[in-house]
Amino acid sequence: MSRQPSVLRLRCPAQSRFVASLRHALVSFLRAHDFKGQQLDDVTTAAGEALANVVEHAYTAAASQVDAYIGLRANVDAKGTLALEVYDGGAFVERRPTRGRGFGLRIIRAIAGRLTIDTSNGTRLRMIFERKR
Amino acid sequence: MSRQPSVLRLRCPAQSRFVASLRHALVSFLRAHDFKGQQLDDVTTAAGEALANVVEHAYTAAASQVDAYIGLRANVDAKGTLALEVYDGGAFVERRPTRGRGFGLRIIRAIAGRLTIDTSNGTRLRMIFERKR
Amino acid sequence: MNEAEPVKVIRLTGELEIGRKNEIRSTLRAPADGTPVLLDLAGVTYADSIALTELLRFCAEAQQVGQPVALVIQTPQFARLIQYAGLATVFKVFAEPAEALAYLTESPRQ
Amino acid sequence: MNEAEPVKVIRLTGELEIGRKNEIRSTLRAPADGTPVLLDLAGVTYADSIALTELLRFCAEAQQVGQPVALVIQTPQFARLIQYAGLATVFKVFAEPAEALAYLTESPRQ
Ligand SMILES: Nc1ncnc2c1ncn2[C@@H]1O[C@H](COP(=O)(O)OP(=O)(O)O)[C@@H](O)[C@H]1O
Ligand SMILES: Nc1ncnc2c1ncn2[C@@H]1O[C@H](COP(=O)(O)OP(=O)(O)O)[C@@H](O)[C@H]1O
């Protein structure tokens, strides 16, 4: 077991073609830290939804010259607890739920034990996962 | 093509079991940025050697309580040029070449167009790769 | 399965995610004639809510022309995604193609 | 290949890298009796210099007991790694198992 924290940080243009590889990089990192099975799937699913939301919503109102990026930060501490953050420099879009949409945050809420959404400066989702053994 | 730079940063305990997944995470990131074929292999090989050197050498003289970490940073700029850094907080070990050893830096030199090794504060290898198309 | 009631098989494999949205959308086109559709998703390794939205749209279009749709899903991540999204009762999901086929060709429908 | 000259096959697959150092070391043990060894590395997907060091050690041990060793390598990354390390003339590398076998069983050796 590792005593020090491990950190993965990724920053990419907020384009759909980068989402899969951000997810793959996260999976590689989590596997090395003994995440597996359903928990590995669930964390990956939640990350995928948060990343897709950045691509789909964060920069819709932004000027085209803006630096439209997605950020991801995964921190595994000495106890194996994962803090996962997905963030952007865009603007959160308040919206009424529409039929056939609005699954992303619902899925994330179903998975993440603790979720905070900070929209004070872009959008930052923070999810905490205790490692299951 | 992305206009903004993309960055992957990883930090893990300097243990051999993390090296493969750091490499996998790098491969995922590079694939998304259109690295492929021999160049993708070569960059991966160079990164693997640099990471292995940190595990094998950087902290051999260090006290056991030291925060023995490996760092990796990959930056792809708007032109597609990759700056790859592998760094640690240990001490570079000057050594005479031994038979049957000493391949790591030789392999890295054969691959990296531009290589700098900064040993002023831990060891930091910096390699630059122009993207081949 | 008899000649009178053929089944159209639509297959998607790999990762059904945001980067493949257009491809998923164009693959999921309902035949206009009401032929039952077996959506073979057994080879899907990962799915996200973008894929779910396309599947929902496809099933709604199919329902409008009275076309039954059965999904074959074997990937735990995908099956759980549908649960988490609250869509468990919306899709007709089967683990085995034979079960899906039986549903499409044998069950009585109005 | 005849009864008088059997060939021992040692196979390693996947990623031959620092995380598997101990496993690679214990797999690469030279038989003491001089039996020719076919090192089947066709299924290797990646190799690093840690693996090269173990291969070198194995080949040196084999040479001491007059035991010929042929490597089967098909992965471009692995083949190039050997070039970059300056070891192209040190290992007997073949792309096909049949070629390696022919070398081990047919070529005249002192
Ligand atoms: N990163 C983000 N930036 C801006 N708005 C967001 C972001 N994430 C979510 N939202 C807002 O929250 C709404 C609900 O998101 P979600 O539940 O994922 O559903 P959907 O993406 O299908 O609309 C989105 O429609 C959007 O208005
Ligand atoms: N990150 C590092 N920290 C400390 N020493 C290093 C590091 N990388 C390389 N070295 C030194 O450089 C030497 C040569 O490295 P290398 O060419 O990879 O060969 P090898 O690892 O087989 O010794 C090492 O033996 C070590 O003394």
* Residue A37 belongs to domain with CATH number: 3.30.565.10
Q: Residue D110's pLDDT is what?
A: 44
How far is it, in rounded angstroms, from Cα A30 to Cα A21? Answer: 14
Q: Is D88 on the interface with B (CB under 8 A)?
A: no
The answer to whether position B1 is within a domain reads no
| A75–chain C nearest CA distance, Å | 23
How far is it, in rounded angstroms, from Cα A57 to Cα A79? Answer: 34
Contact A21 B8 (CB under 8 A): no
Q: Is A3 on the interface with B (CB under 8 A)?
A: yes
pLDDT at B119 over 80: yes
Please state, as a whole number, how many other Cβ atoms lie within 10 Å of the Cβ of residue B109: 14
The answer to whether position B57 is within a domain reads yes
Smallest-distance ligand from the CA of D56: 2
Of A18, A20, A28, the CB nearest to B25: A28
Residues of chain B with C-beta less than 8 angstroms from the C-beta of A20: 32
Q: Residue D107's pLDDT is what?
A: 56
For D47-84, the pLDDT digits (tens) are 999 999 999 999 999 999 889 999 999 999 999 999 99
Name A28's Cβ contacts closer than 8 Å, sequence gap at least 6. Answer: B21, B22, B24, B25, B28
| B119–chain D nearest CA distance, Å | 22
The answer to whether position A67 is within a domain reads no
Q: What is the CA radius of gyration of chain A?
A: 15
From the CB of A67, is ligand 1 less than 6 Å away?
no
Task: Tell me what the mean pLDDT of segment A56-85 comes to.
Answer: 92
| A48–chain B nearest CA distance, Å | 15
The answer to whether position A43 is within a domain reads yes
State which amino acid sits at residue B107. I
More confident residue, D104 or B97: D104
DSSP state of B65: T
How far is it, in rounded angstroms, from Cα A82 to Cα A47? Answer: 12
Q: Is D53 on the interface with B (CB under 8 A)?
A: yes
CB pairs under 8 A between A and C: 64
Residues 62-81 in A contacting B (C-alpha not used; CB under 8 Å):
67-69
Residue C1: pLDDT band by 50, 70, 90 thresholds?
A: very low
DSSP state of A57: I
Q: What is the ipTM of this complex?
A: 0.88
Alpha carbon distances (Å) from D108 to B32, B43, D2, D95, D103: 50, 41, 15, 21, 9
Residues of chain A with C-beta less than 8 angstroms from the C-beta of B9: 7-10
pTM of the model: 0.90
Smallest-distance ligand from the CA of A119: 1
Of B17, B51, B111, the CB nearest to D84: B111
Tell the residue number behind the tokens 């993390």, with chain if given: B18
Q: Residue A64's pLDDT is what?
A: 75
Which of D50, D47, D107, D104 lies closest to D73, judged by CA? D47
From the CB of B111, is ligand 2 less than 6 Å away?
no
Tell the residue number behind the tokens 């194995």, with chain if given: D58
Smallest-distance ligand from the CA of B62: 2
Residues of chain B with C-beta less than 8 angstroms from the C-beta of A8: 9-11, 25
Residue A99: domain span: 6-61+72-129
The answer to whether position B67 is within a domain reads no
Residues of chain B with C-beta less than 8 angstroms from the C-beta of D88: none
Residues of chain B with C-beta less than 8 angstroms from the C-beta of D86: 103, 106
Q: Is A44 on the interface with C (CB under 8 A)?
A: yes
Residue B49: pLDDT band by 50, 70, 90 thresholds?
A: very high
Q: Which of ligand 1's atoms lies nearest the C-alpha of A104?
A: 18
Task: Tell me what the mean pLDDT of segment A101-112 comes to.
Answer: 92
The answer to whether position A77 is within a domain reads yes
**Number of independent structural domains in chain B:** 1
Alpha carbon distances (Å) from C61 to B105, C94, D71, D82: 60, 20, 58, 58
CA torsion angle for B44, B47, B49, B54 (degrees, to 10)?
-150
**Taking chain D, what is the end-to-end CA distance rounded to the nearest angstrom?**
18
How far is it, in rounded angstroms, from Cα A34 to Cα A54? Answer: 28
* Interstrand relation of A123-129 and A114-118 (parallel, antiparallel or unpaired): antiparallel
pLDDT at D6 over 80: yes
For D8-45, the pLDDT digits (tens) are 999 999 999 999 999 999 999 877 788 999 999 999 99
Determine phi and psi for C9, rounding to 5 degrees.
-105, 125
- CATH class of the domain at D8-106: alpha beta
Name D91's Cβ contacts closer than 8 Å, sequence gap at least 6. Answer: D55, D59, D69, D71, D82
| A98–chain C nearest CA distance, Å | 11
